[in-house]
């Protein structure tokens, strides 16, 4: 039966690729890839020869209908991103929604997602948390921070290296200098590290040592 598979891929360590993910990517008719060059290296490593098609944030609005029609016509298609789980701050949501609305079966495989190990490794309460993804760059940024000031759950953010210091400074401004923060960088990779401390301490650390790589920020909830 034709369906859409959402297949997580490693966020750094190729050993995190599951046997099931490899099997599915070998069996489907087509793989939708965020960047076919990046995914091509992954597929080559696992000897997967399935045809790929580009599907990313700049073209997904235009390609969704075509993909849905192909699945309805009998094809089974898998969607992957450059790293991690599709639709988590990556393309995949629009296609998933369209497939659900069309009555197409959607099967999301379990696998790598950067924020889960970062959250658990932070040592902050994780029984309740809110995933914020990437903060607005300009418009809406202040509004988002104002809304989060009263947040009583642990907060999770993604951030790029060159914006981290600015974001930490905003944490101090809106959440306070003593708010506990945990930064996980390059998760599963050779130079993986987690830096914990107050917002001020972590800002000082990364001001003196500019960060590189993929970054997940965990921020403690409002102190009672």
Q: Which CATH class is domain 115-219?
A: alpha beta
CA dihedral 158, 131, 205, 198 (to 10 degrees): 170
Q: In this structure, are residues 87 and 113 in contact, taking their beta carbons and an 8 Å threshold? A: no
What pLDDT sits at residue 137? 87
Cα 144 to chain centroid, rounded: 19
The domain segmentation of the chain, as residue ranges, is 4-108, 115-219
pLDDT in tens, the chain (224 residues): 799 999 999 999 999 999 999 999 999 999 999 999 999 999 999 999 999 999 988 888 889 999 999 999 999 999 999 999 999 999 999 999 999 999 999 999 999 999 999 999 999 999 999 999 999 988 899 999 999 999 999 999 999 999 999 999 999 999 999 999 999 999 999 999 999 999 999 999 999 999 999 999 999 998 76
Q: Kindly report, residue by residue over 82-105, the tens digit of the pLDDT.
A: 999 999 999 999 999 999 999 999
Instruction: Please state whether the predicted TM-score (pTM) of the whole model is above 0.85.
Output: yes
Q: In this structure, are residues 118 and 213 in contact, taking their beta carbons and an 8 Å threshold? A: no
Overall fold of domain 4-108? Cobalt-precorrin-4 Transmethylase; domain 1 (3.40.1010)
How many H helices and E strands in the chain? 8, 10
DSSP 160-181: -GGGHHHHHHHHHHHH-TT-EE
Say whether 115-219 and 4-108 share the same fold: no
Query: Average pLDDT, whole number, for the chain?
Result: 95
Please write down the long-range contacts of 87-94, taking CB distance under 8 Å and 24 or more positions apart.
Answer: 87/6, 88/113, 88/115, 88/131, 88/133, 89/133, 89/134, 89/158, 90/34, 91/34, 91/55, 91/56, 91/57, 91/60, 92/6, 94/60, 94/61, 94/64
């Amino acid at each position: 039966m034709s369906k859409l598979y959402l297949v997580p891929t490693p966020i750094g360590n190729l050993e995190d690729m599951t046997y099931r993910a490899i099997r599915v990517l070998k069996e489907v008719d087509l793989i939708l890839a965020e960047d076919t060059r990046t995914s091509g290296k992954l597929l080559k490593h696992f000897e997967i020869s399935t045809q790929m098609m580009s599907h990313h944030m700049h073209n997904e609005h235009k390609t969704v209908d075509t993909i849905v029609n192909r699945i309805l016509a009998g094809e089974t298609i898998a969607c992957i991103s450059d790293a991690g789980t599709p639709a988590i701050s990556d393309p995949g949501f629009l296609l998933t929604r369209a497939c659900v609305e069309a009555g197409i079966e959607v099967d999301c495989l379990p696998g790598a997602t950067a924020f889960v190990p970062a959250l658990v490794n932070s040592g902050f309460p994780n029984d309740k948390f809110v995933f914020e993804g990437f903060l607005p760059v300009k418009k809406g940024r202040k509004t988002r921070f104002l809304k989060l000031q009263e947040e009583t759950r642990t907060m999770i953010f993604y951030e790029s290296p060159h914006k981290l210091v600015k974001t930490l400074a905003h944490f101090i401004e809106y959440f306070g200098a003593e708010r506990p923060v945990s930064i996980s960088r390059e998760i599963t990779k050779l130079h993986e590290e987690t830096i914990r401390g107050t917002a001020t301490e972590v800002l000082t650390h990364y001001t003196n040592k500019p960060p590189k790589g993929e970054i997940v920020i965990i921020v403690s909830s409002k102190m009672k």
